Structure 1
């Protein structure tokens, strides 16, 4: 008789949804974790015989899924949740958000906003995000301190901010942050030029060169609104994606966010060049920005991810809500009830996001050799009964409040809905203090 293998953790679940293979649900399975890595996925009876865990977690009526990947966020803006609702994008941005940020933006704002966002994401089953905001050094340090996985954007924009005063300073500070977190187990970096309408050709050319040299992604708002595209055509004679192609930005490092205005030729270009598209349906709906043709992109072979965008325009970081909205919206846009089905939607929220960030070999599915970024979801509440199809239920009927437990790198971050490393009362007090400060400046 073979001796059971000692492992750190054995999670036994009623259902394991590995995402790879596509659409598969494993009933009465267990995931063995050691050293933060998944070492086996086995039927529960076999796992009990094969493993000697230091800790065993039994999830009798749960689905165990890969941790969700929020592929586009501005998480410090969680502190601006609900500040200027029901306004068009450019009015919202230029007349409300940017002026308020000009008064409050700094390291303390970023730290406190990121901490609040981490708590919200963990309680909703999200274990990784793609951050895009100022003071990336503070954001990265905050994510690392909390044990949260993140790709942190290195911001670039043509006007001065509290983070940098000139184009050269943006690049200098970006490279310093990249060097500080090079090789970190949880924190990666990406260049984050804001958008084609706020970044010059010269800056984009420098981004392309550095992204190639450093092998990091480029995280870019692109084709977000019809107004953006029409304005670009008037000013440059080119649609923004065409301009990016001429500047060498359109390749397999590009993370193109929003993409609500696309021709069939542009979709084909994205597929050919290996571009990843991040679909942010709820933010696009709330700002009336347009509809990303998610099903057309998927059928063309473009890698799709999902993002919430920031709390100032969503107004939450709820990836379960985002999945449901993405699936329903895709059907309406495509005129096809079979479009963007539940399995494809869950894929976009997990492995699609991991591929977008260059992390598909580490996270995004439940497989031996990958890191143990996992979320347990209760499926026995009355609201998810009766249960016929687990993946459909996760996408169409499950709320984020049904997430009970979360692990990142094998470390339990949420235990029966309780945060293990963050003080909820302290976070609440900080959020209320920021509310008073922002309200006092007329926000």
Structure 2
């Protein structure tokens, strides 16, 4: 029976067996059950002596891989596989997935691999990778070189590299990556620019947000996201010392709640905001609950403000540790403001298009942004155990300053990236900000 060893922070914690295609069994090792630092590979797969099987395990493993079926097939062909079965893809690419989990053939510790190295990569080579994804967003790997064994979840074209402070490198074997490159966003022209602006503004709004930059490489650009599931430990003050990169255990909320990647949106059966609050209540230590809940509520409100229509369960994650969980920084935060309606719409039609934009999580019974009143947002804050006054004051301050924040972030782009889409984002934001200010004031 095919099997893989499962590692977490360098410890062999479990065995994964494939019983049949899309049918698996996970068994935690006895030593891991007694370890004082024990933790589950997923909140949906609790630590225990009994083997775990069924749809929840299948969904968890499947969620570690790209959503795009074409990407999976290309990876399968590159690895010499007959099918894109998730177990076999994890055998080939599972040494560097999101979080700290690693998969390896039985008896082969992935962290002791003699082939695990980091090779410098030039700006010209990075630019070639960027162009490849712009031309074909299933091209997540470089066909001309060994690009490592990482697996990134999600639907958008992307790739991952490392940078420990001494330049970009291409990981091979099990060497960790540190940054995710997103050259384009499917279905949204220049979406990488809009995501950069929106993520920058979220951080300006004092929301715990992943660090992003717009990287320039030999005439090409890409959104570059610093991985919060990687931690650099200083190797010391000796000349030439390079930090050691550690993986940090985390999972997205589709995995944590046991739903499939096809159910990541609430309207397809994914978690509601109440489900998320219940999960945080159940797993975050009391002394840290307020911080995680505040980040989540701020994320919901900010998504409403900027019309972030893709804030589904796979775009929220939790850190998992021996003492419980914490919500991670926000990531994949963007805005539909530049794209709603028609480009030549006047203010009344643009106003209507904004109000009719559906968000990923509904508040009360409503998905459209225009149907989500501040009374309902106040109820969300109360359900989270937060002060409605404090949340309202924060939201009012962000809404008042939103046009200026968007304009400031947009102005930081190089002149050749001051595009019509970026200009439309800046020009339209005051319309959306006025809607939000009016809703809060009611």
Q: TM-score, normalised by structure 2?
A: 0.26
Which of structures 1 and 2 has the larger relative contact order (alpha carbons within 8 angstroms, sep 6+)? 1
Q: TM-score, normalised by structure 1?
A: 0.25
Name whichever structure is richer in strand by fraction.
1
